[in-house]
Amino acid sequence: MSIPVVDLAQFTHGTAQEKQQFVQALGTAYEEVGFVAVKNHGVPDDVIARQYQLVQEFFSLPLVEKKQYEIPGLAGQRGYTSFGKEHAKGSDAPDLKEFFQFGQIETDDQLTEHYPPNVQVPQITDFNQTLTQAYQYFEKSGSHLLQAIALYLQLPQDYFAPHIYHGNSILRCIHYPPITHEPKSAIRAEQHEDINLITLLVGASADGLQILTKQGEWVAVTSLPEQIVVNVGDMLQRLTNNKLRSTTHRVVNPAREFWHTSRFSMPFFLHPRSEMSLACLDICIDASNPKAYDDITAGAYLDERLREIGLKK
């Protein structure tokens, strides 16, 4: 499926007319599809390439070495999570993946109060430094996209800024290992919707991502190497009272001839601060679209979802 393509440079460096065109194109795509491919996104190619290289080195380590970076009590929010620990909401089948999560950068006492420290991986040179760099680029790119979303919703451009400043965003590095025997399912990651506001996803190392269309059909999603795919998460869907829809997606197994290969993926989940209210916006509620959700904070919603997917007890 060819998903809509938008050029972020139109918004950040374009004329007033180009900026408005970007806002309209982005908002329309999120109402109709839920996914867009973004070019000129501002995350340098060399940073992405270096991140992929180091992530592959990490997942190539023996399991006993990787497990020293799996920290009990963090619900997978920092460091390593071993194979089969996470499952989709409503599914008992574990996803066929392991992952490493990297969070907000500790720059002052305020952050260390709210977030656990990132897990250091000293045995791979520049691992944490590269993830720090990538995190900051993704966070900046995502903030521009949220500015455009705010304008589409007829909110002030900086509506999301105080909510995502030092927010609870996560950079997740995922490894889907080779398939070594006949799988019980054709699914590597069962169908789900993301928890957060928006997700920024650089091109995975292999195909497999599919989205569920409004017609109920699963279609493969592809993007060019210089693009990142960005989708709406459940928090933004909730905030906008279903005006912007969180799209159901999954990762399927490759053809049998590619079972021996790994798949790597590196989504950036853009989360707000825990105290942000996800109460439906008044401008998204009317007689034809009554309020669909109870009020809840982002932190309480995240906690609820982490329990539903098996990362928190």
**Global model pTM greater than 0.85:** yes
Asked if pLDDT for residue 69 goes beyond 80, the answer is yes
Looking at per-residue pLDDT, the higher value among 144 and 201 belongs to 144
Go through the domains of the chain in sequence order and give each one's CATH number.
5-72+79-308 (2.60.120.330)
Q: Which amino acid is at 192?
A: H
Q: Which H or E run contains 229?
A: strand 228-232
Condensed to tens digits (0 to 9), the pLDDT of residues 243-291 reads: 998 988 888 877 777 778 888 889 999 999 999 999 999 999 999 999 9
Give the residue-averaged pLDDT of 82-94. Answer: 72
Instruction: Write the CA distances from 69 to 131, 144, 189, 277, integer angstroms.
Output: 15, 33, 23, 33
What pLDDT score was predicted for residue 204? 56
CA 125 from chain centre, in angstroms, equals 26
The label of the residue with tokens 């965003």 reads 169
What pLDDT score was predicted for residue 128? 95
